[in-house]
Amino acid sequence: MNLNCPIPISDYPKVTLAHGGGGTLSNQLIQKMFFSQFDNELLNTTHDGAIFNVPSNRLAFTTDSFVVKPIFFPGGNIGELAINGTVNDLAMCGAIPKFISVGFIIEEGFDMEDLWKIVQSIKVASEKAGVKVVTGDTKVVDKGKGDKIFINTSGIGIVVDGVNINPKNCKPGDKIILSGRIADHGIAIMSAREGLQFETTVESDTAPLNELVSSILDVSKNIKVLRDPTRGGISSALNEIAASANVGIKIQEEKIPVSEQVDSACEILGLDPLYIANEGKLIAIVPPNDAEKILEAMRRNDYGKEAEIIGEVVSDHPKTVVMKTTIGTTRIVDMISGEQLPRIC
């Protein structure tokens, strides 16, 4: 990896409006910073868009915008988040991610060195996920009209033959598998944003999940739902599934992995980990007969080592998620309204 920023820092330590103006400086930025790193034959045609052949399979297409603050956080930065987020959205469609577009909206005065770090992360994350950045765009907005850097990524993936991911396929008895411990990303962001001092830093779980998905589709094509529980946490994901499939969902608190640090942070701040964002976890809803082999396949993958069967789909209480608590009662896991705000005391 080339760790030296190729733009002459002494000349342009900050991004200027001219870097988005379409002239020489724009061209220099694009050539030296982006093309040199994302280098591939589709991008290198320097056309207005990428032109490519696709097999006759179904395609999945998704887009996501990243405005995370702070842009560098424990365990990652906005660049790899932007790749992993779109890779994961494609993977949750049962697709193999192939091509990605990256659009930058940069605030005038943004550090060129930081942009370089972000570009490096995008390069590493896209290589890790096996996707190509084939087209992109850069805009620079006036100082004060943005917040450092926003990134939009869109992606195209090829849906695996024989796979039909659709929450409406859920039936009572289906098992719910969670790929690992929850709420790391949200707490990592919050700790960096608010300057909370933890004895050990909680790191974001940002990760590409396409290989994990491929490995479970290899053992069963009968997976009914795949969902990455990002904003709103596993609560929102499960509530959305229950609502769209018109089924009830019952989960067990003791089966849901939460790290001790995250648990403590949530207790101090008055937050519920079920509502906190993840960036490298998935929920799979699978037929009961396939559950064990899917769980085993998941646990063999680096990003699924702590996977657990956390509950099942039920015919009772349609559109509602309930949880058997560790003290033996049953509680409702409601959809959150707005954002969780830390309590006063």
Partner 1 sequence: MEICGGQTHTIMKYNIDELLPDKINLIHGPGCPVCVTPLEMIDKAIAIASREDVIFTSFGDMLRVPGSTLDLLGVKANGGDVRMVYSPLDAVKIAEENPNKKVVFFAVGFETTAPANAMAAIQAKQKGLKNFSILVSHVLVPPAIEALLDSENSKIKGFLAAGHVCTVMGFHEYIPLSKKYNIPIIVTGFEPIDILQGIYELIKQLENNRAEVFNAYGRVVSKEGNIPAQKLLSEVFEIVDRKWRGIGVIPKSGFKLKDIYSEFDAEKLFDVGEIEQQESQFCISGEILQGIKKPQECSAFGKECTPEHPLGAPMVSSEGACAAYFHYYKRIN
Q: Which is nearer to partner 1, 11 or 339 (CB)?
A: 339
What span, in angstroms and rounded, lies between the C-alpha atoms of 252 and 326? 8
- Contact between 249 and 241 (Cβ < 8 Å): yes
Q: How far is the CB of 5 from partner 1 (least distance, A)?
A: 29
Query: Which residue, 187 or 284, is less far from partner 1 as judged by CB?
Result: 187
Exposure of 119 in the CB half-sphere (CA atoms within 13 A):
29
In one letter, which amino acid is 321? V
- Nearest distance in Å: CB 332, partner 1: 5
Look-up of token digits 């039909």: 164
Smallest separation, CB 53 to partner 1 (Å): 47
**How far apart are the C-alpha atoms of 213 and 88, rounded to whole Å?**
9
The C-alpha angle with vertex 52 and arms to 51 and 57, in degrees rounded to 5, equals 135
Of the two residues 200 and 343, which places its CB atom closer to partner 1 in the complex? 343
- Tokens in use for 97? 């991610």
The H or E element that residue 193 is part of is: helix 184-194
Tokens of 31: 């050539």
What DSSP string runs through 45-87?
G--SS------SS-EEEEEEEE--SSSEETTEEHHHHHHHHHH
C-beta of 162 vs 195, nearer to partner 1: 195
Q: Characterize the bridge pairing of strands 95-107 and 132-141.
A: parallel
Q: How far is the CB of 69 from partner 1 (least distance, A)?
A: 13
Q: How many CA atoms lie within 13 A of 192 on its CB side?
A: 19
Nearer to partner 1, 10 or 329 (CB): 329
Q: Where does this chain bind partner 1 (CB under 8 A)?
A: 194-196, 269-270, 317, 320, 322, 325-332, 334, 337-338, 340-345
C-beta of 324: minimal distance to partner 1 in Å? Answer: 10
Nearer to partner 1, 160 or 188 (CB): 188
- Find out whether 64 and 89 touch, Cβ atoms under 8 Å: yes
CB of 55 or CB of 195, closer to partner 1: 195
The minimum distance between CB 195 and partner 1, in angstroms, equals: 7
**CB of residue 328 vs partner 1: minimum separation in angstroms?**
7
